[in-house]
Each structure stands twice: as C-alpha cells, then as structure tokens.
C-alpha cells in the first residue's frame, strides 16, 4: 500500500465528507444524454412538417397490400396501345347498342331532302313526341342550362356569362373570341334548330354532344324557350294572383 492510499484511508472529518459525496456523472455522459433527447425530436419535427405541407411526390406506400393491382381501371393508361389508352374508342364504322340515333326529330332535330342535286335542311318546329314538356323537364333543363350553357351565355341567356367577362378582360377578341349570342332573341328559331346547335355547335360555339345526352339537350331547349318567354314578358303575362310577388 503506497503512501497516497494510506493517507486516504485515515478518516479525518474533511476527508470523510469528501469521500461520502457522490461524484457527479462525467460531462460526456451528460451531454450525450441531452443530445439524444434533443435528436429524438427531429423525426417528430420531420413528420409534423410532412403533415402540414403539400407534396408533389406520390405518397409513401409502406404496405402495398393489394392497393395497386395489375388491372386497368377507368381512364387508366396502357402501354399496349399506341395512343396510350386502356379504354378503346369504338371501331370506325360501328355503332354501339343504344346509340343508333335513328330518329330524325328526336336525335337530329332536322331532316334532309334532295331536290335535283341540291340537299335542303328543314328543322322540326316543335318537340318530338318522346319529350313531354312539363315542370320536371323545365327544372332539369334549368339545372343543365346552368351547368353547360351559363358559363358563356349567362344565367339569363343574354350572352354575358363569366367566360365572356373573362375573355373580354383578357382581350381575347384578337384570338377569335366573339360574344355569345343573346339566346332570348332566338324565339323564332325552330326547336330542332336549337337542339342541333347544342348537339353540333354553330359558328364559334362547339358541339356539346359529348357532354350533354339527348334527353338533356331537349330539356335545355325547353328551358331556353322559357327564358325567351320570361325575358320578353310583360306584367300582363303573369297570372293575376302572382303579380303582387314581383311588383
């Protein structure tokens, strides 16, 4: 036993106090633990950030389960076909069941006749017999008019819809934009003519056949008739008992 140790073993009061005090942890250990606790909040911060922000990258898909099956769903792409579609367009020259469109009045709104070498088109004046013009049809027509027609023609049909307002704001007349027709002035157009315009378009207006099915086109024609009447109506046209409401 060396001298140094011996000195330690002789308990004087001051030595005893020093010996009994628990020695503190080394600073490396303390700072290591503090660092570990601080670092533990980093993943939490990253997750919170991911949660509050948008991401342009596809979501993390940890558990695939059967989320993405090797099958084609509506409008999904396919590398098999040159145009990249899995939904195939009908073969040219074929007609799908229920899409024959064999009724001139209901499906086309006009007939064509030949005199000599010249073809002439005559539009049907009224509604086809399949179309019953009643309140339900007008309601449907109003709803469809507001969806498909009002962006350009306006809810009142006067040709001042929001798309026209925007096109005017952007000075698009130089690109070919023209103000939509005020359809309340077309009261003398045949119903078949209005129908054909919805289906095939006219001048700069494109056809809406792909967006509006046949029955809805006629509902819109009926509603356009109602707009034409209401926009050119006088107080005398309103039933006597309802005049108070609008006066």
Residue 121 dihedral angles phi and psi, to the nearest 5°:
-105, 130
DSSP 8-state assignment for residue 77: B
Q: Report the nearest approach of another protein to the CB of residue 136 (Å).
A: 13
Choose which of 121, 147, 215, 233 interacts with another protein (CB under 8 A). Answer: 147
The 96-125 site mask, x for binding another protein (CB under 8 A), equals: ------------------------------
Distances, alpha carbon 152 to alpha carbons 115, 138, 180, in Å? 38, 20, 6
Residue 92 near another protein by CB under 8 A? no
Please give the angle made by the CA atoms of 145, 149 and 152, to the nearest 5 degrees: 145
Cβ density class 60-92: b for 16+ within 10 Å, e for less: eeeeeeeeeeeeeeeeeeeeeeeeeeeeeeeee
The token duo for 169 is 């704001």
Choose which of 166, 202, 237, 243 interacts with another protein (CB under 8 A). Answer: 166
Choose which of 14, 38, 39, 65 interacts with another protein (CB under 8 A). Answer: 65
Choose which of 94, 113, 120, 175 interacts with another protein (CB under 8 A). Answer: 175
Strand blocks (E) in 57-194: 110-115, 118-123
- What is d(CA 190, CA 173) in angstroms, rounded to the nearest whole number? 30
For the purposes of burial, counting CB atoms within 10 Å of the CB of 151, is it exposed (0-12), middle (13-18) or buried (19 or more)? middle
Residue 26 near another protein by CB under 8 A? yes
The token duo for 30 is 């303390």
Question: Per CB under 8 A, which region of 79-87, 104-112, 191-199, 220-228 contacts another protein?
Answer: 79-87
Number of amino acids touching another protein (CB under 8 A): 64
At residue 219, the 3 state secondary structure works out as helix
Q: Which of residues 33-62 bind another protein (CB under 8 A)?
A: 33, 36-37, 40, 43-44, 47, 50-60, 62
For every residue of 2-19, DSSP letters joined together read -HHHHHHHS--HHHHHHH
Choose which of 112, 170, 215, 233 interacts with another protein (CB under 8 A). Answer: 170
Residue 3 near another protein by CB under 8 A? no
Residue 244 near another protein by CB under 8 A? no
Residue 75 near another protein by CB under 8 A? yes
Helix (H) or strand (E) holding 150: helix 150-153
Q: Which of residues 184-223 bind another protein (CB under 8 A)?
A: 204, 206, 208, 210-211
Q: Residues in the site for another protein, rule: CB under 8 A?
A: 1-2, 5, 8, 19, 22-26, 29, 33, 36-37, 40, 43-44, 47, 50-60, 62, 65-69, 71, 73-75, 77, 83-85, 143, 146-148, 151-152, 162-163, 166-167, 170, 172, 175-178, 204, 206, 208, 210-211
């Amino acid at each position: 036993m060396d001298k140094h140790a011996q000195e330690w073993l002789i308990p004087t009061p001051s030595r005893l106090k020093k010996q009994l005090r628990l020695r503190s942890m080394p600073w490396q250990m303390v700072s290591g633990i503090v660092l570990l606790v601080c670092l533990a909040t980093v993943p939490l911060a990253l997750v919170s950030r991911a949660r509050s922000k948008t991401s342009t990258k596809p979501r993390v898909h940890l558990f695939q389960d059967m989320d993405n099956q090797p099958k084609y769903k509506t409008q999904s792409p396919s590398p098999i076909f040159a145009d990249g579609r899995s939904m195939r367009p009908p073969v040219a020259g074929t007609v799908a069941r229920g899409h024959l469109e064999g009724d001139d009045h209901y499906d086309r709104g006009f007939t064509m006749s030949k005199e000599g070498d010249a073809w002439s088109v005559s539009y049907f004046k009224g509604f086809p017999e399949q179309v019953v013009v009643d309140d339900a049809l007008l309601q449907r027509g109003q709803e469809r008019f507001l969806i498909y027609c009002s962006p350009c023609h306006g809810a009142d049909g006067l040709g001042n819809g929001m798309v026209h307002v925007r096109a005017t704001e952007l000075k698009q007349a130089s690109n070919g934009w023209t103000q939509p027709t005020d359809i309340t002035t077309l009261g003398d157009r045949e119903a078949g003519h209005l129908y054909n315009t919805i289906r095939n378009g006219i001048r700069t207006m494109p056809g809406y056949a792909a967006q509006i099915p046949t029955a809805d086109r006629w509902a819109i024609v009926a509603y356009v008739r109602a707009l034409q009447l209401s926009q050119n109506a006088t107080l005398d046209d309103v039933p006597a008992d309802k005049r108070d409401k609008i006066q």
